[in-house]
Structure 1
Amino acid sequence: MDKDIEFEYKKEHLKRLIFNGFVSALHSHKTLFKSAFSENNTHSLTIALAYLSEAHNYHLNAETFVVDNLELFGDRNEFELLFQRFSVYNNEFLKNSRTDHSHQWSDIEFRSYVNSFKSVASLLNIDKDQFWINKALSEDDE
């Protein structure tokens, strides 16, 4: 396979993994904060955790893909920061859910993750109109 075609193919694959992970993380965050005002808060929290698990899988696959393709993507700090910020959000969400604490820090870490996504989105040409980033940073429900 031609190197340029291979790069474009792998870049598109990585874009899908990262974008799908971002959307799943967004759904986990939005659902988490809806659960606080829900009559069946346990059900909503379960759904939020399912989205978080899905986001974790996408990010883990994307991180593995980047590491396996360093010759194509290089050792980009933007990717490392995105994966690290997602991990912090993931851990904060799980810790606060497990200990039944406020999710104030889950929200703070999610917003930090969104900011790291901006750099990767720009690098890979994802979310050109910033629709998903704006949606993630809005306080409004869907």
Structure 2
Amino acid sequence: MENLQKSLVNYLQNSDKSVQETLFVTTDVHPVWEDNPEILVLANEQILQPVGILPNEEILVFIGMHAKTMFTGKRDSVGFLITNFRILTQTDYSVIGKAESAQSTLFTKRQNVDDIVPTVWQDFSKKNQLSIPGEQLSAMQTALKTF
């Protein structure tokens, strides 16, 4: 797992700025965002915890952004939280109340990553109701494909 984390940090450090703006890994220094640790904590609280953490599950990467609610100023995680067991896709955030739970795609021995990623992206694209700029969507898709 340690080698994977090093590879993720290396990928983050060497990616285009648009990818760096939407990719968050466990690292002390993020090339764009000083609040990288806070972003990962929020993604954990808002995406992973509501669906339930599996035994020995660890967050590898969050690919996404925060939607800020105008009324409350609350930041909500939207995007892909990837763990060692699954991809959690969050397309909804709550203005009042509770957001819809993230969609879970488990990794299995029978699945090929080349089959999973297009399906996960297509589901995200269909369900996403936010006005996310094209450059950010493209960066998210690039990071997801490369992961």
| TM-score of the two chains, using structure 1 as the length reference | 0.35
Higher CA-based Rg: 1
**Larger relative CO (CA 8 A, sep 6+): 1 or 2?**
1
| TM-score of the two chains, using structure 2 as the length reference | 0.34
Larger relative strand fraction: 2
